[in-house]
Chain A
Amino acid sequence: MRPLEGIRVVDFSWVLAGPICTRYLALMGAEVFKVESHRRPDPSRRGEGFQMLNQNKRGVTLNLSHPEGRTLALELVKKSDVVIENFATGVIERMGLGYDVLKAAKPDIIMVSCAGLGHTGPEKGYAAYGTLIQAHTGWSALQGYSGRKPIIGGAYTDPTSGTWLVALIAAALYRRGQTEQGAYLDVSMAEVTINMLVRPLMEYAIAGTVRQPQGNHDDWFAPHNVYPCAGDDQYIAIAVTNDEEWTGLCQALDLELTSDPRFQTAMGRWKHQDELDPIISQETQRFAVMDLFGRLQRAGVPSGPSFDLAQIMSNEHMVHRGFIHPYTDLKGRTVNIPTVPWRMEGVAPAPATPAPELGTDTEYALREVLNISPEKIAQLQTAGVLY
């Protein structure tokens, strides 16, 4: 049995944060109904990322602007435990599916509304994407190389928020089990991001300093950077944090530097790191990245190759740990992709099932969950309710 078996989720969410959350829920055993319509499909259907984000979910299409479509959604909510949405603030209420309505239909429903800035405050209606929130919260201004235009980085706020939502939903389910109470949880993606910025926030609060980008360098340790290896676009990250690791690095690279007065102490290495980095780069280029990785680890030096995603999916350690599992989409194409980022003794994640096409499971939902007759389903189809 999986931890969330028997839990049914109605998922109105789009693109990233919401679908990331419901993917975890599905892999942990929940039955997730992803609600879309042909008029407003999930925009992430444009790319292959959709396959992973929406694996193990059922696809339902409902025309929510049709009164009967809304009624069907509400009927589905009555048979469910959790509702999640990440529309702009106010949209779900205008659809007639706000928390008050859902709670009246199902008193112990757990509803999670996730929006850029949350559902209260003067800027609650501001249009937001996760990547913009990264800039807004000060996360982006910390990143990149010093003295250059700030970089946005990859998608950070969305996956971080999606992961947070899983913890929150599990906590709310636990609380419901103890108290029989549902919950309405108004989540702000900006505040999720701020929660991840403990160090720079405290630096400003305590010392009044605003941290600047520093590339791969560190406040205290050196050498601390990525260094080129043999071949094109291959790098290894090295982080030396004490004298022992420094000696190990010199041995692994056959560097005669331990007696160089500039580099003898941790303070010296940090102060002279701009002279030290090119010396190390000169040596690392002689090695293939995986060979150097093994060599450095044998010498006790914290290190790791700068992998791309394809390298991770074929990495021996990842495969050994069962982080990578096979996935076959509805077209029959099979690839290897990650599962959940934890192992739980006695609890295997659900084997991957394909992400749905639009409406793949509409009939199933109506027939099996809502007990609607085939004749009625056909009528709803003709009337444009299932759309």
Chain B
Amino acid sequence: MSYDFWKGINVLEWGTTIATAFHARMLGDMGARVVKVEPPTGDPARRAGPFPAGVPNSEKSGLFLALNTNKFGITLDPTCETGRAVFGELVKATDILVVDSRPSDLARWRLTFGDLKKLNASLIMVSITPFGATGPYQDFKASDLTIFQMSGYARAMVRGETDPVAKVPVRAQTDQVAMLGGLSATTATSIALLQRAATKQGTFVDVSLWEAMCMLSNGGFAAAAFQQLAPGGNDEPVISRGTVATLEAKSGYVVVSPREDDQWVRWIELIGSPAWANEPRFATRQLRSQNWDELEPLLAEWTSQRTKEETYHMAQAAEIPSFPMNTVADLFRSEQLRVRGAFQTIEHPVAGKLPYPTLPFRPGDQDARPDSPAPRLGEHTENVLAGIGVTKEEQLRLHVLGVI
């Protein structure tokens, strides 16, 4: 479902990364008109899959389909002189240009913010790169793994682990750096649009995936900084051992978090007030955290006799925070998500009907529009170029020359 927050805003997306595609999709879902520029050979996500039956098909890649709903798709190579001229015309009719090329490459192609704002003084140009458009690392090579590891968050992932293999800093998989970078860019761009509404001036928004990823740790930075100032000082982390217990259930695991004293009392009552619950070593939140290795198996005695679904419904009925440890497959069976409309079916002319997640909010009295499927390669080239005055004859030339 898409909404009309950004009605009248034109976005031009020129990039090949997940971060860029996700960012532009969010703007499109929120009401902007998004034109995605793909190289004439197609966006790399078209190669990424997953594909039905594992058979590659550039119109059936799940990653591409999900990242590019609500967009118009054109092919164009702005890095050659002829393509650059067409691109410049598009930029003139654009409010937000999103790019992900390295700053040195943009300079080489004469497509920097300085170049483009001469064509459009109110242009907001958003650059999303691993390290940002300035600084000593700006041209360094990076990947999802390396940025994740540099963010400090890989260490948070394994906090409390003691096993030598399990305590090695680990990334969260499935493109989390790119997704968080795209989200961060959306936040910045949205603020930039507010600024522009007041000043009528464009701006350059420089998003660093590394910084976006760091922000997962948020208050952790202050905790670390004050700890350096006064080692051993008063710092109770929000999450300490046992705050969230992952307990074995009949099938899989259930997570339970009776962290506050009143929650703990209700939890002990729910599991039948076993004798050990009165022992002094489990008397306070702090002691329970300290003696977690002994406590965990005692708690699991009760949960292991029940399924994860039974356990969480019973715990929640007693006002104890608890949820099943699910896989994505479980999400399609959730009544809560079904009632909320968290997934929608979109039909694509080649890939067919598939479920896609909807935006994560319900907007009171605003009307929602159904989403349109991801564009086929070059699907809207003709229309979009006609819109900026490129004639059919010129389009044919551009096609033959390999520019579109």
Contacts and interface: CB of A to CB of B under 8 A. Distances in A.
Interface string A286-328: 0000000000010011111111111111001110110100010
Contacts of A318: 135, 211
A99 B222 CA distance: 34
Contacts of A316: 136
A159 interface: yes
Interface string B323-344: 1111111111001110110100
Nearest to A324: B221
A143 B170 contact: yes
A102 to B, nearest CB: 12
15 contacts: A3-B191, A47-B238, A135-B244, A135-B324, A141-B326, A145-B166, A150-B325, A152-B244, A159-B215, A167-B26, A195-B360, A200-B174, A205-B62, A338-B214, A342-B188
B88 interface: no
Contacts of A122: 335-336, 339
Contact of A127 (B53, B142, B223, B316): B316
B197 A49 contact: no
A344 B204 contact: yes
A250 B254 CA distance: 45
Q: Is the interface of B mostly helix, strand, loop or mixed?
A: mixed
Contact of B150 (A129, A189, A237, A345): A237
A49 B235 CA distance: 8
Contacts of B53: 207
Interface stretch (B75-83, B100-108, B177-185, B275-283): B177-185
Contacts of B336: 117, 121-124, 190
Interface stretch (B226-234, B375-383, B392-400): B226-234
A312 B147 CA distance: 12
A90 interface: no
A178 B342 CA distance: 28
Contact of B244 (A47, A131, A194): A131
Interface in B353-368: 354-355, 357-366
Contacts of B239: 131, 154-155
Contacts of A236: 149
Nearest to B172: A143
B288 interface: no
Interface stretch (A33-41, A72-80, A180-188, A372-380): A180-188
B152 interface: yes
Given A121-B339, A170-B193, A202-B63, A310 B224 contact: yes
B329 A309 contact: no
B149 A226 contact: yes
A206 B326 CA distance: 19
B310 interface: no
Interface in B208-266: 208, 211-212, 214-229, 233-239, 243-244, 246, 253, 255, 257, 259
B151 A321 contact: no
A350 B397 CA distance: 51
Contacts of B141: 245, 297, 300-303
B176 interface: yes
B157 A154 contact: yes
Nearest to B342: A191
B23 to A, nearest CB: 10
A335 B226 contact: yes
A30 B144 CA distance: 33
A335 B343 CA distance: 44
Q: Is the interface of A mostly helix, strand, loop or mixed?
A: mixed
Interface residues of B, number: 148
A235 interface: yes
B255 A305 contact: no
B145 interface: yes
Contacts of B20: none
B216 A48 contact: no
Contacts of B227: 48
A245 B145 CA distance: 15
A172 interface: yes
A342 B168 contact: no
Interface stretch (A213-221, A252-260, A267-275, A362-370): A213-221
Contacts of A50: 219, 222
A170 B145 contact: no
Contact of A133 (B6, B140, B158, B323): B323
A44 B222 CA distance: 12
| Closest 8 A/B residue pairs (Cβ) | A49-B219, A202-B62, A154-B156, A191-B360, A184-B364, A52-B222, A170-B190, A335-B225
A284 interface: no
A320 B132 CA distance: 11
A132 interface: yes
Contacts of B219: 16, 44, 47-53
Contacts of B54: 207
Contacts of B221: 52, 309, 312-313, 337-338
Interface in A141-194: 141-145, 148-156, 159-164, 166-168, 170-175, 177-178, 183-192, 194
A235 B158 CA distance: 14
A120 B172 contact: no
A142 B173 contact: yes
B30 A171 contact: yes
A20 B326 CA distance: 26
B190 A341 contact: no
Interface in A212-269: 213-216, 218, 224-226, 235-239, 241, 245
